[in-house]
């Protein structure tokens, strides 16, 4: 199993450009998450999808949209990138709710100039 | 919402000494408390977790303790080794739809040989 995969690994955008970060998991997990990690800080939840067909806002959703395309894939879209969105983005998945390990992807390092 | 505070932000120990990292949480309904280790440029990886019906859990050199009354939990690493050097994050979540993790700000542990 590849686990949780993310593309791209690195991306540089100009202010105002848009892009979609892709995440896929092959563990048949129900719930998926998008976090951002700013330098020297912990992870903050952007959006999550408790199950296929549902999405909900996390702590810092402004400026982002998500799509749970199917059980495997959960994408994060920046419609108009801003320098404040420069960060490392991690996708994670979990088999079911109630205290089970979240498996993280390798991350996407995004720089907005 | 949940708030998790983590201390200290940096910790330097001599190889072979013990290290202790402490976290407090605000939501008494939280019932799952994982600890993640993140090496530079890598994804967070779960090292140990504890659920609210347990007071202590050990895994070789790593242990976690939980005090539900005081709403705090701690990570203990004994006989530290240089490869323990990393950033450690605590987190808290509760068993409901979403199982969202709220992370502490992280502790940079440096083990000096």
What pLDDT is stored for residue A51 in this prediction?
87
Bridge partner residues of B11 (DSSP): B109
What pLDDT is stored for residue B96 in this prediction?
63
Question: Which of B1, B46, B97 faces A97 most closely, judged by CB atoms?
Answer: B97
Please enumerate in sequence order all residues whose Cβ is within 8 A of that of B69, keeping only pairs 6 or more positions apart, or say none.
Answer: none
> Nearest-CA neighbor of B74 among B6, B27, B17, B15?
B6
Residue A105 contacts residue A81 (beta carbons within 8 Å): no
- Asked if A52 reaches chain B (Cβ–Cβ under 8 Å), the answer is no
Question: Which of B1, B46, B98 faces A101 most closely, judged by CB atoms?
Answer: B46
Contacts of B104 in chain A (CB under 8 A): 42
Parallel, antiparallel, or unpaired for β B19-25 and B4-7? antiparallel
pLDDT tens digits for range B88-103? 999 998 866 567 889 9
- Asked if A50 reaches chain B (Cβ–Cβ under 8 Å), the answer is yes
Q: How far apart are CA B30 and CA B45, in angstroms?
A: 21
pLDDT tens digits for range A41-89? 889 999 999 888 899 999 999 999 999 989 999 999 999 999 999 999 9
> Closest residue of B to A51, CA-based?
B98
Question: Which of B99, B100, B105 faces A41 most closely, judged by CB atoms?
Answer: B105
CA distance B32 to chain A (A): 5
Is pLDDT at B21 greater than 80 in this prediction?
A: yes
What pLDDT is stored for residue B108 in this prediction?
97
Q: In this structure, which long-range contacts are made by residues A72-76, counting pairs with CB atoms below 8 Å and at least 24 apart in sequence?
A: A72/A24, A72/A25, A72/A26, A73/A22, A73/A23, A73/A24, A74/A23, A74/A24, A74/A32, A74/A33, A74/A34, A74/A49, A75/A20, A75/A21, A75/A22, A75/A23, A76/A20, A76/A21, A76/A23, A76/A34, A76/A46, A76/A47
- Asked if A48 reaches chain B (Cβ–Cβ under 8 Å), the answer is yes
Is pLDDT at B23 greater than 90 in this prediction?
A: yes
Q: What is the DSSP letter of B17?
A: S
The average pLDDT across B59-80 equals 96
What pLDDT is stored for residue A99 in this prediction?
54
What pLDDT is stored for residue B52 in this prediction?
81
CA distance B33 to chain A (A): 8
Question: Which of A41, A102, A105 faces B101 most closely, judged by CB atoms?
Answer: A102
Residue B98 contacts residue A97 (beta carbons within 8 Å): yes
What pLDDT is stored for residue B100 in this prediction?
83
Inter-chain CB proximity A105 and B43 less than 8 Å? yes
A84 φ/ψ angles, rounded to the nearest 5 degrees: -65, -10
Bridge partner residues of B111 (DSSP): B13
What pLDDT is stored for residue B95 in this prediction?
66
Question: Which of A42, A48, A106 faces B104 most closely, judged by CB atoms?
Answer: A42
pLDDT tens digits for range A8-43? 999 999 999 999 999 999 988 888 999 999 988 889
Exposure letters A95-112 (e unless 16+ CB within 10 A, then b): eebebbebbbbbbbbbeb
B66 φ/ψ angles, rounded to the nearest 5 degrees: -130, 130
Is pLDDT at A90 greater than 90 in this prediction?
A: yes
For testing the chain B interface, which of A31, A44, A102, A108 should be mutated: the one with the most B CBs within 10 Å? A102
| CA A77 to the chain's CA centroid | 9
The average pLDDT across B28-36 equals 92
Q: How far apart are CA A36 and CA A14, in angstroms?
A: 19
What pLDDT is stored for residue B99 in this prediction?
75
How big is the A-B interface in CB pairs under 8 Å? 63
The average pLDDT across B19-42 equals 94
What pLDDT is stored for residue A96 in this prediction?
65
Q: Which of A72-76, A96-100, B44-48 has the lowest average pLDDT?
A: A96-100
């Amino acid at each position: 199993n590849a686990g949780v995969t993310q593309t791209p690994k690195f991306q540089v955008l100009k202010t105002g450009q848009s892009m979609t970060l892709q995440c896929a998991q092959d563990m048949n997990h129900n719930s998926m998450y998008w976090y951002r990690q700013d330098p020297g800080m912990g992870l903050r939840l952007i959006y999550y999808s408790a199950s296929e067909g549902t999405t909900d806002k996390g702590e810092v959703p402004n400026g982002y949209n998500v799509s749970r395309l199917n059980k495997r894939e959960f994408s994060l879209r920046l419609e108009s990138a801003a320098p404040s969105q420069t960060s490392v983005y991690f996708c994670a998945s979990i088999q079911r709710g109630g205290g089970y390990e979240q498996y993280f992807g390798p991350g996407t390092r995004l720089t907005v100039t | 919402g949940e708030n998790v505070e983590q201390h200290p932000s940096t910790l330097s120990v001599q190889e072979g000494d013990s290290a202790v990292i402490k976290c407090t949480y605000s939501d008494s309904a939280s019932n799952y408390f994982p600890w993640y280790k993140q090496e530079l440029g890598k994804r967070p990886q779960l090292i140990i977790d504890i659920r609210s019906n347990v007071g202590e859990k050990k895994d070789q050199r790593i242990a976690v303790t939980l005090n539900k009354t005081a709403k705090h939990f701690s990570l203990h690493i004994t006989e530290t080794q240089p490869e323990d050097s990393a950033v450690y994050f605590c987190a808290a979540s509760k068993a409901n739809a979403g199982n969202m993790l709220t992370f502490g700000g992280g502790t940079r542990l440096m083990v000096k040989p």
